Amino acid sequence: MATVSESGTEPAVTRTDEALDDVAAGVDQAVERTRQTWFSRIGGMFKRGLNDELWEELEETLVAADTGVSTTMKVIGDVRERVKQDKIKEPDEALRVLKEDLIATLEVDTGRGRIWRNGNSHHEALPKPAIILVVGVNGTGKTTSIGKLAHTYRSEGKKLVLAAADTFRAAAIEQLKKWGQSVGVDVIAHQQGADPGAVVYDAIAAAEKRDADVVIIDTAGRLHTKANLMEELRKVNRVIQRKFPDAPHEVLLVLDATTGQNAMAQAKYFTEAVGVTGVVLAKLDGTAKGGVIFSVCDQLQVPVRFIGTGERPQDLAPFEPRGFVEALFAG
C-alpha cells in the first residue's frame, strides 16, 4: 500500500526577474573555485604570445581542471587549427576562439528528450504528465537534485508528483518525503524493499487522478551488481512505457562534479542502460575541477541540463553554455 505525503498548498507563482538574477549569480558563485584555481590563468597565458609554450601550458591547465585528456586535445587541436587557418596574431582574438570552441563543446543536442530541446534548458510544450526518470549512483546528490527540480517546477505553477522508487534504502524514501514537505509536492512511497515498479505505477496513477503536470521518479543507485541495478532500471522503464509508450520524456543522470573523471565511468553505464537524455551536474560549487563538464558533453554527447550551485532549494540552475564559459573566464 502506497503512502502519500500531501502538500495541501496552492501552486507558486512564476519566477520573478530577481529570481532569474539570483540564478545567474549562483552560476557565477558555483564556478568561482574552478575559475580562481585554473581558468583565471588562461588569459595571462595568451598574453605571453601564441607559441608552443602556450599550447603546452594550456593543455596542462585544462587537464588539471578535469577537462579530460581526450577532450583537452580535441579543443586545443581545434583552436590551433583555427588560429593557423585564419592567420590570427592577436592573443585576445585567439582567446576568443578558445572560448567559442569550449561553448561549442557544451552545445550538445541529442534530440532524444521531449522536455528540453535544442540545447535550451527551458522546457516548452510539456507532455502531460511529463515523466522524468532520475538516475545516478548513491551519494551523487540525486534525491537532493530531485527536490530542487521540484522546487523549480513549483515556482512555475506546475503540479507535481514525486515517486520514491529507490526502495532499497529507507533513508532515500525519508529524504524524498522531507523534500516533498519542504517544497510542497505530493510524494508516493511504499515500504523499504518494495517493488520499485509498483511505486512508479502508483505514482503515475496518482498523477492522472490529480491532473498533475509532472512526475519525477527517484531510482536506486546501487544493488548487488551493476547488472542488477541496470536491469532494475529497465524494469521501471517498462512499467512507465506500458502506460505511456513515449515515456519517460527525459532521463536525467545526476553526476557529482567533485568526483571528476570517475563520474565518466558511471555515466557510460547509465547511458547504455536507460538512454540518458540529459545530465544534472551536482555539487559544482564544491570543486575546483569543474572542467569535467566539458568532458561529460564531449565524450558522452549528452547535454548538461542543470548544475547544482549550492544547498538551498533554489540552487539548481538551468545550464546555458555561453553564460557558463563567460563565468569561467570572468574577472
Taking the C-alpha atoms of residue 180 and residue 6, their distance in angstroms, rounded to an integer, is 8
The segment with the largest mean pLDDT, out of 10-24, 31-45, 109-123, is: 31-45
- Contact between 66 and 260 under an 8 Å Cβ cutoff? The reply is yes
Residue 220 located in a structural domain? yes
Residue 255 located in a structural domain? yes
CA-CA distances (angstroms) from residue 41 to 52, 56, 102, 155, 249? 17, 13, 16, 38, 41
Tens digit of pLDDT for each residue in 80-97? 999 999 999 999 999 999
Tens digit of pLDDT for each residue in 270-329? 887 788 999 999 999 999 889 999 999 999 899 999 999 988 999 999 999 999 999 999
Residue 240 located in a structural domain? yes
Residue 122 located in a structural domain? no
Residue 121 located in a structural domain? no
Residue 119: per-residue pLDDT: 42
Query: Band of the pLDDT at 131, cuts 50, 70, 90?
Result: very high
Q: Which residues pair with 160 in a beta bridge?
A: 214
User: What total number of domains does the chain contain?
Assistant: 1
pLDDT higher than 50, residue 123: no
Residue 282 located in a structural domain? yes
Taking the C-alpha atoms of residue 267 and residue 270, their distance in angstroms, rounded to an integer, is 5
Residue 127: per-residue pLDDT: 85
Q: What is the CATH number of the domain that holds 209?
A: 3.40.50.300
Range with the lowest mean pLDDT among 20-29, 43-52, 310-319? 20-29
Residue 316 located in a structural domain? yes
Residue reference for cell 563538464: 293
Residue 138: per-residue pLDDT: 87
Residue 319: per-residue pLDDT: 93
Tens digit of pLDDT for each residue in 136-183? 988 899 999 999 999 999 999 999 999 999 999 899 999 999 999 999
* pLDDT above 70: percentage of residues in the chain: 89
Question: Domain range holding 90?
Answer: 1-115+127-331
What are residue 92's phi and psi, to 5 degrees? -65, -35
227 or 249, greater pLDDT: 249
Residue 62 located in a structural domain? yes
